[in-house]
Amino acid sequence: MPDTERTAFQLEPRPGEILRGDLWSPAEPAWPTDRAVLVCHGFKGFKDWGFFPYASSRLARELGCHVVSFNFTGSGVGADLENFTEPEAFGHNTFSKELDDAAAVLQGLEAGRLGESVCPPATRIGVLGHSRGGVAAVLSGERPSVRAVATWAAIAAVERYAAMFEGLGPGEPAEVRNARTGDVLPLYPDVVQDIRANAGRFDLAASLRRSGVPLLVIHGTADTSVPPDDARRLASAAARSRLELVEGAGHTFEVGHPFEGSSPELDRALDLTIEHFRVHLAGGGSDVTRSAES
């Protein structure tokens, strides 16, 4: 008997836009059924990339609760769940759309229905975000049902995406290369317009101050995509935070795609995340966990 069951679902957060996700259910629930965890991928990521299925399954198994992983509607990955067959969706993606996508999944978890999939309504939810997905994770912390947030290799500010358009003409797209496939994807100025129009909404430090959500920040010391200083900025902005630097780990914790097995760095990140959610989703214990870097 498998230790977790994976059920696919679809949502339509906006007319004509399909959000594809997976509901991971533990074979033996160990918690009250109102606990759940949401996993958000990052830029050029998707729910079936590399470590995400392994991480989602482990979270469900060891926490004994439902876990949801999903593709943002602007991920660029289409119905085959593996290839960037929707480059225009990728190009026109924005942070506002990603927040709306995450909110649609969280609303489904709270209601106990994700498309055609049914699960117990969740009232205590943890959110994990990798890289750019850390933005949706942190900002979701203002939702009352979200009781804990964890970030892996997350960015500390959205303005880095505006910098990608420096030197380009009005309306000219930036080009984003997928190192794995060689695809060159367009990124249109929609993201810059969104950042400028919603600067207050996307202020991660201000959001963390408002929510007071317990935050675990995990980052590799050898991350060349997002510098560890971003992790320090995030952790220092939160009133209740724990910063863990994983020695020698890169942006994806020494794991690639296709997934060929875990690494000590990834398992360290997972162990810390499971501990964080176990404490803060349980209820009744202290929510304050501030520690030095390690």
Q: Are 130 and 153 in contact (CB under 8 A)?
A: yes
105-124: burial string, b at 16+ Cβ within 10 Å, e else: bbebbbebebbebebeebbb
Q: Is the peptide bond between 258 and the residue preceding it cis, with omega within 30 degrees of 0?
A: yes
H helices of the chain, in order, are 52-63, 87-91, 95-111, 133-140, 190-197, 204-211, 228-237, 264-282
H helices of 217-263, in order, are 228-237
Whole-angstrom Cα distance, residue 200 to residue 187? 23
Whole-angstrom Cα distance, residue 269 to residue 128? 11
So what's the pLDDT on residue 285? Answer: 39
So what's the pLDDT on residue 29? Answer: 85
Give the architecture (CATH level 2) of 4-159+200-282. Answer: 3-Layer(aba) Sandwich (3.40)
So what's the pLDDT on residue 180? Answer: 76
So what's the pLDDT on residue 183? Answer: 85
Identify the segments of the chain with pLDDT beneath 70: 1-2, 284-294
pTM for this entry? 0.95
For the chain, what are the domain ranges? 4-159+200-282
So what's the pLDDT on residue 31? Answer: 83
